[in-house]
Amino acid sequence: MSQTAELAGRPAQDRRERAQSVRRGRRQRNIAVWVSCAFLVLVAFAAAFPGVVAPGDPLALHPTVVLQGPGAAHLLGTDEYGRSVFALLVHGARAALVVGLVCAASGGIVGSAMGMVAGFFGGVTDQSLMRLNDILMCFPGILLALLVGAALGSSLQNEIIAVSVGTVPVYARVARGETLRVRGMLYVDSAIVAGLPRRQIISRHVLPNVLAPLVVVATLAVGVSIVLAASLSFLGLGPVGGVPDWGSLLADGETNISVAWWISTFPGIAITLVVVATNVLGDWLRDRLDVAAR
Amino acid sequence: MTPDPGARGASPLLAVRALRVSQERPGGGRRDLVREVSFEVGRGEIVCVVGESGSGKSLSVKAVMGLLGDGGPLHVAGDIEFDGRDLPELTIEQRRALRGRDIAMVFQEPLANLDPVMRIGAQVAECVRRVEPQRPRQAMPRVLELLRHVGLPDVQRVARCYPHELSGGMCQRVMIAMALAARPKLLIADEPTSALDVTVQAQILDLLTRMRDDEGMSILLVTHDLSVAAAIADSVIVMYAGRTAEVTPTSELFGRARHPYTAALLRSLPQRGRAAGKSGRLVAIGGTVPEPGQMPPGCAFAPRCDQAIDRCSQHDPPLEWSGGSAVACWVATGGEQP
Amino acid sequence: MTHLAGHRPPDVPAGPPGAPVVEIQDLVRHFTSRRLTGRGIEKSVVRAVDGVSLSVGKGETFGIVGESGCGKTTLARIVLGLLSPSAGRVLVDGVDLAAVRGASLRSLRPRVQAVFQDPYSSLDPRMRVGRAIGEVVAYHHRAWDRARIRARTTELIEMVGLDSSKADAYPGQLSGGQRQRIGIAKAFATDPELVVADEPVSALDVSVQAQVINLLMDLQAENGVSYLVIGHGLAAMEHICDRIGVLYLGKLVEVGPASVVLSAPRHHYTAALVESAPGDGRRELSVLTGEPASARAVPSGCRFRTRCAAAQARCADDEPSLAELGPGHSAACFYPRLAPNG
């Protein structure tokens, strides 16, 4: 009895309280968005100019200060080689962000194309592409990335490929769903009747209307990619040599976790914060785009 | 400003006076979505509220029912009297008791208003049990009786069906059956047949007429279709751009409509039974309905009206009553000499 | 007695002289679905269009009336080339639209255009309306430069009664009536011979419907275009159509001049439609009993017999075909209603 159910009314006092809490909620959300934005800008800056934020060679060994806890001398402590955890984090930020962005983008392009083609053409094309997608979806992201990574070997390039493959299914699903929705719209029928070629219909009418949700998926995929890449590195399948990325740092700290909790914990916190920040931004973006579309 | 008392004989079942629904503007102040709405529904009478989109007809009716939610962004003002009781003065509980009991509502899209995962019989039983608390099984005879009353065939089978297994017309009958569970004095129907085929619409309208004739139920029907109003209403309320333009008994509607909007609307409708061959052009009304935020000064219909005088674009005409009819027009009430 | 056996039905009900702009021959469209149920795989066939033949002459307006489930939308989509038929032909200038594909289909498309029912979803919300029209113009006039395309776009927009400044507007900034006018402008961008209008005014405000109806009729007078109008309101259909075909469960049950069919219907379904429609202040709406049959389970013999007051034994055994009862007026009924004046 959806509509015949009544909307509860409230006396005037309740009305004021409800309006206030709505305003409070909105303000809280806006603060979260600003904070996430600021945080990500900081991380990007650190990734771009690590030397400015943490000068010196992060890989240099300092045997005299091994396994020092967080304090005045070393912000986040040192590892078993005396290297500052903070410096390692800052220098590893680049790898984390680059991997996140590149994987989200490449996975996005492949996945979206797959979904759009499947949704627009339907029939056998749709069935075969989606079954392929189903196979990809059978594997949890990490397992998929693992398989690809193990097959291809450890290198940054292969890690990117592996993680991208892990993000493809979600894009394909969303792209297909949105394409099906748009495909059912009369303006697509109108373009077909007008004789426009399919290529043009997809690029000029389907793509712009499908883009909004895909952008949201992309921002969320950045977070997912970072976690996937870190997991791969943690398991030893990431790139070797050079500045360890955050996942490797986590792995390195594992052995000493009982005596030096900070080596694993801070990289973990860093990963978490970046993912949360991208998620908050993704939510905000989705809300904004939803309103705009209406 | 108000209808003559006794114009309808006995006191009316529902009397609405100077109803106003306004909305808070972002920059402060209020914007009227509906204003100056006054009408009456007598006992055993069918009254149609007719208007296009933006006329405020659905909003007015929801305001009367108290469905706009207190404390929300919409503010309702005016006198609403039902069966001698003042509706806005009632508490939430009292109003809730009134709805679904003395007043019942039926909406436009029957399929959207039924729970898709619940069988028809169970949904109607819910309504019956709200009126008379009892076990679900005890309610079934009354459920079947209601389904039969609204003309559904094979009620045992229908009661076991899910909404998607029934046609639009059958679902709408189910909605009416649910509304009738409490034997209401007033049935409010908001575009009940707009989503239905014309032959099914005829059946539903026939059902509504029978309910008025057999049970003395009053019906307030909201529609955009003047011909539906002409077919079953005793009196018609024409709304335009958020206010009442005219109230008239149906017999006066064709040919004796007083408000220029009503007359123009009737003229623009294609008429049946023309002589052979394609007809000439229709007499269309130029322009479009103004948005709530962009009301012209004075009478909202003045820019499109072919009889407008100077006064029309300066002052909004009040609703003038004479007997059971009313019109809000300077020209119709012989206002200022042109 | 007007008891006509269904003898020698005309293949295509007669229209005005001269080569027809579009000729539909025995069009059939079935939708088959297979479901896995407790009893095995159940196949159900929806016979949406079950043998329709008609022709539309040059400059003529042919209307199709019928209720939901009669197949009129499916018919419109087949004529527009959006759906392929299960059987039958749609001849546009002698070429079967349903038999061609790809580039040859695209070369036929300019001749048959569409005006859709919903002015809200028939325009791309993210494209300025001028550009949407220009896109169509540009594709069909590859040699034209930008200026010429823009000039033609402006011409089209003004032709439908809108100010040329509207070209820069997004659909969301226009009213329903204005959007529908843009849809009409887009339809005329290719200089079509036939425009299929699927309930072109149903979704518009009542006070705007007359404007758009007038526009369509004016454009026909200027361009000599033919219309195939799928319609709803009988009064409007009588006003704008030359001939009308009444569709019931995928078949035409009556075809003839609009005013004749609607004022003196010979088929009982047409009569039911006419008498159910409110209007003219009539208080008695004739009420048809029973539910509309489903296109999934079409009754044997005459498909309307389950709701027909005049049904007899024969109606269950044989299916009547369209038989000519008057000049250009045919009905598919073994016991059609009496003509007025005998």
Give chain C positions within 8 Å (CB) of A194.
Answer: 109, 113, 135-136, 139, 186, 189-190
Q: Which chains touch A (3 or more CB pairs under 8 A)?
A: B, C
Burial of residue A268 (CB within 10 Å: 0-12, 13-18, 19+) is: middle
Q: What is the ipTM of this complex?
A: 0.85
User: Using the beta-carbon criterion (under 8 Å), do A192 and C183 form an inter-chain contact?
Assistant: no
Contact C261, C246 (CB under 8 A): yes
Give the residue-averaged pLDDT of A153-169: 82
Q: Which of A272-281, A282-291, B302-311, C150-159 has the lowest mean pLDDT?
A: A282-291
Cβ partners under 8 Å of residue B262, min gap 6: B238, B245, B246, B248, B253
In this prediction, residue A292 carries a pLDDT of 58
The residue with greater pLDDT, C15 or C189, is: C189
**CB distance from B97 to chain A under 8 Å?**
no
Q: Which of C80, C82, C124 to mutate to test the interface with A (most CBs of A within 10 A)?
A: C124
User: Which range among A17-31, A189-203, A232-246 has the greatest average pLDDT?
Assistant: A189-203
Give the residue-averaged pLDDT of B17-31: 83
Contact C213, C184 (CB under 8 A): no
Of A8, A12, A15, the CB nearest to B92: A8
User: Using the beta-carbon criterion (under 8 Å), do C81 and A193 form an inter-chain contact?
Assistant: yes
User: Using the beta-carbon criterion (under 8 Å), do A8 and B115 form an inter-chain contact?
Assistant: no
Q: With respect to CATH, is domain C4-241 assigned 3.40.50.11540?
A: no
DSSP letter for each residue of B242-309: TEEEEEEEHHHHHHH--SHHHHHHHHHSPPSSPPSS------PPPS-PPPGGGPPSS-TTGGG-TT--
Burial of residue C338 (CB within 10 Å: 0-12, 13-18, 19+) is: exposed
Q: Which residue of C has its CA nearest to A205?
A: C124
**Is pLDDT at A293 greater than 80 in this prediction?**
no
Place B71 in a pLDDT band, splitting at 50, 70 and 90: low
CA B171 to chain A, closest CA, distance in angstroms equals 13
Of A190, A200, A204, the CB nearest to C122: A190
- State whether residue B108 is helix, strand or coil: coil
Predicted confidence (pLDDT) per residue in A80-124, tens digit: 787 888 888 888 888 888 888 899 999 999 999 999 999 988 889
In this prediction, residue B6 carries a pLDDT of 43
Predicted confidence (pLDDT) per residue in C97-150, tens digit: 888 888 888 888 999 999 999 888 899 998 999 999 999 999 998 899 999 999
CA B213 to chain C, closest CA, distance in angstroms equals 14
**CB distance from A14 to chain B under 8 Å?**
yes
Predicted confidence (pLDDT) per residue in B254-283, tens digit: 878 899 999 888 888 887 765 444 567 788
The residue with greater pLDDT, C3 or B250, is: B250
In this prediction, residue B101 carries a pLDDT of 82
Cβ partners under 8 Å of residue A11, min gap 6: B70, B71
Of A186, A193, A196, the CB nearest to C139: A196
Give chain A positions within 8 Å (CB) of B112.
Answer: 2
Place C69 in a pLDDT band, splitting at 50, 70 and 90: confident
Give chain B positions within 8 Å (CB) of C262.
Answer: 272
| pLDDT averaged over every residue in chain B | 84
Give this prediction's pTM.
0.81
The residue with greater pLDDT, C42 or B14, is: B14
Tally C-beta pairs within 8 A across A and C: 66
Give the residue-averaged pLDDT of C85-97: 90
**CB distance from C128 to chain A under 8 Å?**
no
Predicted confidence (pLDDT) per residue in C273-326, tens digit: 888 888 766 677 777 777 777 777 888 888 888 888 888 888 888 889 899 998
**Is pLDDT at C14 greater than 60 in this prediction?**
no
User: Using the beta-carbon criterion (under 8 Å), do C288 and B201 form an inter-chain contact?
Assistant: no
Give chain B positions within 8 Å (CB) of C288.
Answer: 199, 202-203
In this prediction, residue C1 carries a pLDDT of 29
Q: Which residue bears the tokens 């009588």?
A: C238
Q: What is the dihedral of CA C231, C236, C240, C245, to 10 degrees?
A: 40
Label each residue of A11-31 as H, E or C: CHHHHHHHHHHHHHHHHHHHH
The residues pairing with B34 across neighbouring beta strands, listed in sequence order, are B21
Give the residue-averaged pLDDT of A27-47: 86
Q: What is the dihedral of CA B210, B214, B217, B220, to 10 degrees?
A: 20
Q: How far apart are CA A190 and CA C236, in angstroms?
A: 24
In this prediction, residue A3 carries a pLDDT of 35
**CB distance from B115 to chain A under 8 Å?**
yes
User: Using the beta-carbon criterion (under 8 Å), do A4 and B105 form an inter-chain contact?
Assistant: yes
The residue with greater pLDDT, A10 or B189, is: B189
Tokens representing residue B301 in the block: 């219909």
Predicted confidence (pLDDT) per residue in B202-218, tens digit: 888 989 999 899 888 99
User: Using the beta-carbon criterion (under 8 Å), do A193 and C109 form an inter-chain contact?
Assistant: yes
Contact A278, A103 (CB under 8 A): no
Sheet containing C194-198: order of strands: C112-115, C194-198, C226-231, C61-65, C243-248, C251-257, C329-331, C323-326
Q: Which of C202, C214, C287 to mutate to test the interface with B (most CBs of B within 10 A)?
A: C287
Q: How far apart are CA B82 and CA C119, in angstroms?
A: 40
Q: Which of A87-96, B110-119, C225-234 has the lowest mean pLDDT?
A: A87-96
**What are the extents of the domains in chain C?**
4-241
H helices of A194-261, where?
Answer: 198-201, 207-234, 246-255
User: Using the beta-carbon criterion (under 8 Å), do A205 and C139 form an inter-chain contact?
Assistant: no
**Is pLDDT at B303 greater than 80 in this prediction?**
yes
User: Which range among A18-22, B32-36, B161-165, C62-66 has the greatest average pLDDT?
Assistant: C62-66
Alpha-carbon dihedral sign for residues C249, C253, C256, C261: negative
| pLDDT averaged over every residue in chain C | 86
Q: What angle do CA C191, C194, C200 make, to 5 degrees?
A: 100
**Is pLDDT at C15 greater than 80 in this prediction?**
no
User: Using the beta-carbon criterion (under 8 Å), do C240 and B224 form an inter-chain contact?
Assistant: no
User: Using the beta-carbon criterion (under 8 Å), do B95 and A12 form an inter-chain contact?
Assistant: no
What whole-number percentage of chain B has pLDDT above 90?
22
Of B70, B100, B126, the CB nearest to A9: B70
